[in-house]
Amino acid sequence: MRKRVIVLAAFIAGCSSGGSNGAAAPSTTTTVAATTTAQPTQGSAAQFGPQLVRKIVLAFKRAGLPVGGYRCYTEEDDPNRLLGRPNAYVQKCNWHDRRLDDLTPEITRKEGPDTSIGGSIELFDTPGLAMQRQAYVQAMHGAAAGPLGAEWDWLVPDGSNLLLRVSGDLTKKQAMAYRDVVLKQLPHP
């Protein structure tokens, strides 16, 4: 529906010929389309509000999970250079799980947390983009853990646009505790 409104608005704006200088006349239809598409739709990141992933990491701490340091990224400091780019996540935070302290190289602690020493939570505009990222991450880690190590990956809730990634050095039960907190933090329809 959204694409149809945008295409229709673009078509109407393109068909409107302006005055004698040939410039397009202003179109109220374009304004209506912008207003219509700016509203949150089911599965969009807008429905969750700003700073959702930061709130979730703080909820991990309130729930008593052993979160050490954490870092929420901006477009300028995202190590993957994906935040705010086309077809990538729109929010991202990483955290350190203190149960992995013995496995954490000193250099990693200095550079900040990543999924290998805790976890990451990434919010996408659409569930489809989250699924693409999940497939990419799983391919990079490979069936036999690959060079990047293993990790637990879930779309939370299933089929959503929120990707939870937790170190594979944690047990499934330990990793699921993070997933359970995420489910409690999401707005219910």
Q: The pTM is what?
A: 0.70
Asked whether residue 43 carries a pLDDT value surpassing 90, the answer given is no
Every domain of the chain and the residues it spans? 2-38, 45-185
Contacts of 155 by beta carbon, 8 Å cutoff, 6+ apart: 127, 130, 131, 134, 161, 162, 163, 164
% the chain with pLDDT above 70: 62
CB-based contact 9:29 (threshold 8 Å): yes
The region of weakest confidence among 79-83, 111-115, 119-123, 169-173 is: 111-115
CA distance 22 to 18: 5
Asked whether residue 15 carries a pLDDT value surpassing 80, the answer given is no
Which of 17-31, 73-87, 101-115, 139-153 is most confident?
Answer: 73-87
